[in-house]
Amino acid sequence: MGTDARIVFSGVENDSARMVAAMVSVEIERLESALSLFRDDSEIARLNRDKVLPEPTGDMRRALGLALEIAATTEGLFDPTVQALWEAYANWFAASPGADIPSQAMISEALGAVDWRRIKLTHNSIYLGDNQRVTLNGLGQGYVTDRIADLLRSHGFNHVLVDLGEQRAIGPRRDGAPWLIERQGTDGIDLTEGALATSEGSGCVLGGAGAFHHLFDPRTGRSPSQWQRVTVHHRSAAIADGLSTALYAAAAHELPDILERFGDIAVWTTDRDGGEQHWTSPFVAHEKA
């Protein structure tokens, strides 16, 4: 899925860890064959090429179905069809690396393919609309993280941190201490159960001027600039991943209403001026002291 993979075991013998690591590697390979845009033969790559995918695997259906649920719940702030925007921007800057602002005509054309409601899931096939391409990069790492965490728990591991781009804890460390999840420029967050996912535009900057990045507002086709970083805690890494992507495109006044729809979550935001806030239910922002 285009990221490093790390699993940290607490209080586990090396031989047991090595044995389960081999099993995890096989499972990641299987999931990538469905969800990864980095593989030309994956299910999602074939869907983008052919606009129809007959007999999709269960994981492809579940991951895309979850993406569509998050799209509906966020009223399109999360949209798996933004792949057309990514390709348009990538092609624009590849042709003119020093270019500043992509043309509005280019953005408008790409936006014509962005609409999650045109995806159709039937009992045995997935269909895209004309000119549409999908990406699950907005929740795919979280989805794989959940699958691996559930696999490890089913084999009796209860003190593990799974880090596949997003982090999910299967209990605390063996001594009861939490896992400390730190990112550059942050104080870190204690994690004993559930998942953390972070979206930040600086992770993939587009163009020589650095004014654009890989996260897009599906409403405008532009890279949002109100946040530096958005981190979400949820029991599911996939939902945390998708929601952090959606919230990155949301204005601050939109957050409380969106968060209420997802229930038991916590959110940390850093705005473009460096102001930090923590959002918890009832969803009001608490300024960092």
Task: State the Cα–Cα distance between residues 239 and 78, nearest whole angstrom.
Answer: 11
> Is the pLDDT confidence value at 289 over 70?
no
What's the CA angle centered on 194, arms 162 and 70, to 5 degrees?
Answer: 100
Element (H, E) at 34: helix 14-35
Considering the domain boundaries, does residue 280 fall inside one? yes
Integer Rg of the chain from CA: 19
Q: What is the mean pLDDT of the chain?
A: 90
CA distance to 13, 26, 148, 229, per residue, from 19 (Å): 10, 12, 14, 36
Considering the domain boundaries, does residue 201 fall inside one? yes
Q: Which long-range contacts (CB under 8 A, 24 or more apart) does 71-75 make?
A: 71/116, 72/116, 73/258, 73/261, 73/262, 74/243, 74/246, 74/250, 74/258, 74/261
pLDDT reported for residue 205: 67
> How confident is residue 208, by pLDDT bands cut at 50, 70 and 90?
low
What is the per-residue DSSP string for 166-208?
SEEEESS-TTSPPEEE--TTS--EEESSEEEEEE-GGGSEEST
> How confident is residue 186, by pLDDT bands cut at 50, 70 and 90?
confident
Q: pLDDT > 70: what percent of the chain?
A: 93
Residues across the chain: 289
Q: What is the mean pLDDT of residues 227-251?
A: 95
pLDDT reported for residue 149: 96
- What CATH number is associated with residue 120? 3.10.520.10
Considering the domain boundaries, does residue 212 fall inside one? yes
> Is the pLDDT confidence value at 138 over 60?
yes
Domain hosting residue 43, numbered range: 6-287
More confident: 220 or 263? 220
More confident: 96 or 21? 21
Determine the 3-state secondary structure of 54 from DSSP.
strand
pLDDT in tens, 152-178: 999 999 999 999 989 999 999 999 999
Considering the domain boundaries, does residue 1 fall inside one? no
> Is the pLDDT confidence value at 209 over 60?
no
Residues 104/130, Cβ–Cβ less than 8 Å = no
Considering the domain boundaries, does residue 52 fall inside one? yes
Considering the domain boundaries, does residue 37 fall inside one? yes
> Is the pLDDT confidence value at 214 over 90?
no
pLDDT reported for residue 37: 93
Considering the domain boundaries, does residue 185 fall inside one? yes
Task: State the Cα–Cα distance between residues 277 and 259, nearest whole angstrom.
Answer: 14
Q: What is the mean pLDDT of residues 254-262?
A: 93
Considering the domain boundaries, does residue 274 fall inside one? yes
Number of domains in the chain: 1
Determine the 3-state secondary structure of 30 from DSSP.
helix
> Is the pLDDT confidence value at 2 over 70?
no
pLDDT in tens, 107-126: 999 999 999 999 999 989 99
**pTM for the full model?**
0.91
pLDDT reported for residue 102: 79
